[in-house]
Structure 1
């Protein structure tokens, strides 16, 4: 099918909104985990210039149709340049769609997250779709659930339970576990480093703690050095 020059010009003038009038997640829990998931995945993939991580950003998947959009709470696109965008237009990204999507389910989004979005994501070919309900009110069976695309259809990702009661689902696209801790809620876990992924705030807290420990250690060494010198002992000669 050949598109005329006038049609191309018309497509080029279409404006794709970067915001809508829908409310943000209505609870602190939803906001907290939306921010956490996007942050830790950005940190995890920060050295990869071909991985784009974002959240609560419009994805337009049909050129010329501004209503053909969805705004996942957190999503990851492999093969897309890692830079900030006002919105994500699939036709400007070589046709690349997210391979991983996470929705933080709330009262306002429960129906869409359980019924409408799985159907859309399956149709678009998004490989993995996870849902997390931090309140435990809106998802049946488990507050953390995942689906993986196989032969064009979503199948449930089987969960495992760790000895401490933590629920774990593995994301093949991210090569990470999504863990549901009884006391900490949702966390991403890296099997390679055997560590939980940390947010910017958690990384900053860890840095400050390390600095405080190092400072305390320097003071201890200085006190010991001064004590040895008071005894006429050269600290450099002490084994």
Structure 2
């Protein structure tokens, strides 16, 4: 009997063994971008945002992979994943990718990443160096290649709608509504402030309700006294003009 050899099952590891970041500044920027994008697209069930997630573009090849610091895949549902296997994602590559540089990054490494993103369909690629305050971007052109953005220091992402601003030694990312991306601490403070404002509004509304209730009670009391006085006057009129 002839047996057909079975193809070994390919394992796609969820971890490449590399750290997510080399320092706190790099990690902070990764978290800021990833979390603010999550918030921005929270109401869209078909925008998937991830940080440091391995992306495998080709089925059967577990060596061909990258783990962008932040990636956005539009047209893919939210949800937890161990890795982004493109053939299981309707063959949709992440359209937008961010890399946050650290002192440990090497030019050759970054060149390989750019080549990978260019080859496998990334439409927007952004690189920020927080130590040197250097921001660069690439956009896929009509010819199908990633080309450098000439003026990235005041650039709006066509797909995300967010705006990057680099001036006065300050790098800022703005939401489409003009609000800037906030750190987790700033988001927590903002939420607390909104909670306090809501509580103050509730207390003011309750005070207004109580004042309105007091006014109603005073009006009812005044009306009751008026009716009592009218009844008393009628009694007095009757005493002055007895019948007969």
TM-score by length of 2: 0.75
Q: Are 1:130 and 2:147 matched, yes or no? A: no
The gaps in structure 2 that reach 5 residues or longer are 219-244
The residue number in structure 1 matching 2:178 is 194
Larger radius of gyration: 2
SS for the counterpart of 1:196 is: coil
The residue number in structure 1 matching 2:151 is 159
Q: 1:22 aligns with which of 18, 36, 42?
A: 18
1:113-141 CA-to-partner distances (Å, cap 9, x unmatched) read: 641111111111211100001110xxxxx
Shift of 1:180: 3.1
How many pairs were matched up?
Answer: 213
The residue number in structure 1 matching 2:224 is none
The residue number in structure 1 matching 2:161 is 175
Q: Are 1:143 and 2:134 matched, yes or no? A: yes
Q: 1:105·1:133 contact (CA, 8 Å) conserved in 2?
A: yes
For residues 94 and 59 of structure 2, the distance between their equivalents in structure 1, rounded to whole angstroms, comes to 17
SS for the counterpart of 1:70 is: coil
Shift in alpha-carbon separation, 1:125–1:235, aligned structure 2, 3 A: same
SS for the counterpart of 2:122 is: coil
Shift of 1:6: 5.8
Residues 126-135 or 215-224, more deviating: 215-224
Shift in alpha-carbon separation, 1:215–1:47, aligned structure 2, 3 A: closer
More strand by share: 1
Shift of 1:181: 5.5
The gaps in structure 1 that reach 5 residues or longer are 137-141, 161-166
SS for the counterpart of 1:178 is: strand
Q: 1:70 aligns with which of 60, 66, 71?
A: 66
Q: 2:33·2:181 contact (CA, 8 Å) conserved in 1?
A: no
Q: 1:78·1:98 contact (CA, 8 Å) conserved in 2?
A: yes
Shift in alpha-carbon separation, 1:235–1:180, aligned structure 2, 3 A: farther
TM-score by length of 1: 0.76
1:175-195 CA-to-partner distances (Å, cap 9, x unmatched) read: 2212335475342331xx222
Q: 2:32·2:181 contact (CA, 8 Å) conserved in 1?
A: no
RMSD of Structure 2 on Structure 1 (CA): 3.0
Shift in alpha-carbon separation, 1:217–1:184, aligned structure 2, 3 A: farther
